[in-house]
Chains A and B, each alone.
Chain A
Amino acid sequence: MSETTDPLKIPYRERERSITMDRYEHEPPVAGDPLADDLESHEELFTINIGPHHPATHGVLRLLTTLQGEYVQRLVPIIGYVHTGIEKSCEDQEYWKVIPFVERMDYLAYYTNAAVYCRAVEQLLGLEIPPRAQALRVIHLELNRISSHLFWLGTSILDLGAMSMIFYALRERERVNDLFEMSSGQRMHTRYFQVGGCIEDIPPGWDEQVHNFLDDFPSRIDQYEDILDRNEIFLQRMKGTGIVSREELHKLSVTGPLLRCAGDPWDLRKAHPYWGYEQYEFGIPVGTVGDNYDRYMVRMAEMRESVKIVRQALERLPDGPYISDDRKVALPPRHELATSMEALIHHFKLVTEGFRVPPGEHYSSIESPRGELGCFVVADGSAKPARVHVRDPSFHNLQALPAMCEGGLIADMIASVAMLDPILGGVDR
């Protein structure tokens, strides 16, 4: 298809016209619309734009809502405002340089993004990662799950109007960020997972710090539940709102805590265990009714389960290498470069060209805090991937938003968006 005008050459004032306030053909809030049929004479339908910039911190999500009074009649989510072209950029980078790109998709659960990509590439290479690396990956993934749920907790309850939760949640999250900083040097987007294992071993004293955190943390969750569980306003807003049935969620391709709140115990950590999850004992919290309160309770319970997993993984942390021994994929340790010529050659090849992956394609998936995160990698034999596609859970969960909100009040819509936990970086990629 020939493009006559380069879209980047259009001056930006004209490009502004693409953000349109024109009505889309399929949702006219005027007479003739079946929605407008049972309106009284003094009522009318009112379309407003809960626009890309709004104080709730769920990112740049635009919700085109058609309201009748305070009731939401139709809801159209419009996304794309933080589309970064990550998938296209990945085709231009070597395999290990793709990891920082992919990490920035779902920017709260950054370890999971890197993990699923590394898993796909390792399966394409047919590479086994050593058990210590597997345990370290599990520990970091579960700590990331805790930190992601904490941030969700803080910002969602802030949306509902209770300002104190964000301070408490961020206080705990700072401790988790400190742990990440100790192990990898960065608080966010740590590039800790590499193809073959982890980039470096944990420093001495790290497991002590993790144990300190884990000893304090369950009592903190108890405190948060104390603040919220008996708060009448919170309960009134959460209970009975945003109910979607299990079958409907299944049809909308929803996974993760959003699906588990409706009673479906589908979790990839139990169904297709990876990296040693089958040896840890933990439960899958499942809701009963499927309303917003269940979503909140499921995530709080998941934090407790993650604490259990991290504790078990730390106790059984095996000794050994933290990255695969295959020198064609993983950098040799620095001390070998002084003595071994082969190590030098491998290092040179890996740093300048990167490793090559035999041609093929693979889709692999793990359980991120939001649902099934999948990564589809196509390799064509060169050092750069031919296609990297990430199946983001928030992208699919967002399709459930109209089902959760239509027919309810606007305030319940805010609560539902908060409990849905969309991360727009993953939605837009």
Chain B
Amino acid sequence: MPDATGLELVAAEVRDKFGDETVVGTHYYREAATLEVKPESARDVVGYLMEDAKEPYDFLASLHGCDYFPDEPRLSVHYQLLARERADRLCVKVRMGVDEAEVPTITDIFPGASFDERETYDMFGIVFTGHPDLRRILMPEDYVGYPLRRDFPMGGEPVIFTFNEGQMPRWYE
């Protein structure tokens, strides 16, 4: 993992290449480095870090989303990058609100992200523009709703304790 100074160097590199306002912040927590960037430049930054940077991170270990409700901006996409030669990990994070849930896809840079992006779309509703085949992967094709958002109900059935259901019907409501 790059240590805190290494992370700052990477952030400085990205700022030099793409401009100052691309990088929103850097977080270094428990020896893991996270670089937060703006959603529009996600693809450029990840492409740069994967291919052209001085110390490239050429493997995408994981692409996942998260809903930070009630923290705004709510939705986020995390790109977990890995550099195999140096055994180094870096996380690139983008955050966006529910209304602007769009991120350019990275499947042309790294085809292995296609299933991940479909799953993030399925679970959170984040549209990856330019993805060749963005449809639901885990839920049925015609499902309505994005299950992993925090305001989506858990579903299931209430557990009925039968002892006094007769005397106090639907006591759980």
Q: Is A187 close to B, CB under 8 A?
A: no
Q: Which of B5-13, B37-45, B56-64 contacts A (4 or more CB under 8 A)?
A: B56-64
B173 contacts the other chain (Cβ, under 8 Å)? Answer: no
We find that the number of chain A residues with CB closer than 8 angstroms to chain B is 52
Among residues of B, the one whose C-beta sits closest to the C-beta of A372 is B61
Q: Given A5-B144, A80-B137, A376-B62, do A253 and B98 touch, yes or no (CB 8 Å)? A: no
Distance (Å) between the CB of A197 and the closest chain B CB?
Answer: 19
**How far does the alpha carbon of A347 sit from the alpha carbon of B91 in the complex, in Å?**
37
Are A251 and B137 touching (Cβ within 8 A)? no
Interface stretch (choices B17-25, B146-154, B164-172): B146-154
A272 at the interface (CB under 8 A from B): yes
Interface assignment of B163: CB less than 8 Å from any CB of chain A: no
Expressed in whole angstroms, the minimum distance between the Cβ of B4 and any Cβ of chain A is 15
Interface set, chain A 57-99, CB cutoff 8 A to B: 79-80, 83, 85, 87-89, 91-92
Give the size of the chain B interface in residues (CB under 8 angstroms): 50
Contact among A1, A19, A376 with B146 in the assembled complex (CB-CB below 8 Å): A1
Report if A180 contacts B (CB, 8 A): no
Contact status of A123 and B30, CB under 8 A, knowing A7-B144, A26-B133 = yes
B15 CB–A CB distance under 8 Å? no
The reply to whether B66 and A378 contact each other, CB–CB distance below 8 Å, is: yes
A398 sits at the interface (CB 8 A):
yes
Interface flag for B16 (CB, 8 Å): no
> Which residues on the B side are within 8 Å of A399 (C-beta)?
111-112, 114-115
Taking the closest CB of chain A, its distance from the CB of B48, in whole angstroms, is 17
Cα separation A190 to B146 with both chains bound (whole Å) = 32
- Interface 1/0s, chain B 61-102, versus A by CB < 8 A? 110101110000000001010001001010100000010000
**In the complex, A123 Cα to B30 Cα: how many Å?**
7
Is A126 on the interface with B (CB-CB < 8 A)?
Answer: yes
Q: Which residues of A contact B59 (CB under 8 A)?
A: 250, 253
Q: How far is the CB of A51 from chain B (nearest CB, A)?
A: 15
Q: Which residues of A contact B29 (CB under 8 A)?
A: 360-362
CB neighbours (8 Å) of B112 from chain A are: 251-254, 396, 399
Q: How far is the CB of A123 from chain B (nearest CB, A)?
A: 5
Q: Mark B132-158, 1 if CB is under 8 A from A, else 0.
A: 110011111111111110101011000
Q: Which of A125-169 contact B (CB under 8 A)?
A: 126
In the complex the two chains form, what is the Cα distance from A254 to B68 in whole Å? 29
**Residues of A contacting B68 with CB < 8 Å?**
378, 386
Cβ-based interface call for A363 (8 A): yes
Nearest CB in chain A: distance from B140 CB, A: 4
Residue A356 CB within 8 A of the other chain: no
Contacts of B34 in A (CB 8 A): 361
Q: How far is the CA of A1 from the CA of B149 in the complex (A)?
A: 10
**Which of A41-49, A301-309, A387-395 is near enough to bind chain B?**
A387-395
Contacts of B150 in A (CB 8 A): 91
Complex-state Cα separation, A83 to B125, whole angstroms: 17
Q: Which residue of B lies closest to A82 (CB)?
A: B138
Q: Is the CB of A251 within 8 A of B154?
A: no
B148, A124: Cβ atoms under 8 Å? Answer: no
List residues of chain B with CB within 8 A of the CB of A126: 30
A8, B138: Cβ atoms closer than 8 Å? no
Looking at B113, B137, B152, the one whose CB has the most chain A CB atoms below 10 A away is B137
The answer to whether the Cβ of A352 comes within 8 Å of any Cβ in the partner chain is: no
Report how far A4 CA is from B113 CA in the complex, Å.
31
Q: Is the CB–CB distance between B110 and A387 below 8 Å?
A: no
Other than the known A80-B139, A372-B61, what 10 A-B pairs have Cβ atoms closer than 8 Å? A1-B125, A80-B137, A88-B148, A252-B112, A363-B80, A376-B80, A378-B68, A387-B67, A391-B64, A396-B115
Can you list the 4 inter-chain pairs with the closest CB atoms, starting with the nearest? A253-B112, A18-B140, A391-B62, A80-B138
What are 13 A-B residue pairs whose CB atoms fall within 8 Å in the complex?
A3-B145, A4-B144, A18-B140, A83-B139, A89-B154, A91-B150, A92-B154, A123-B31, A253-B61, A253-B116, A365-B61, A376-B80, A391-B61
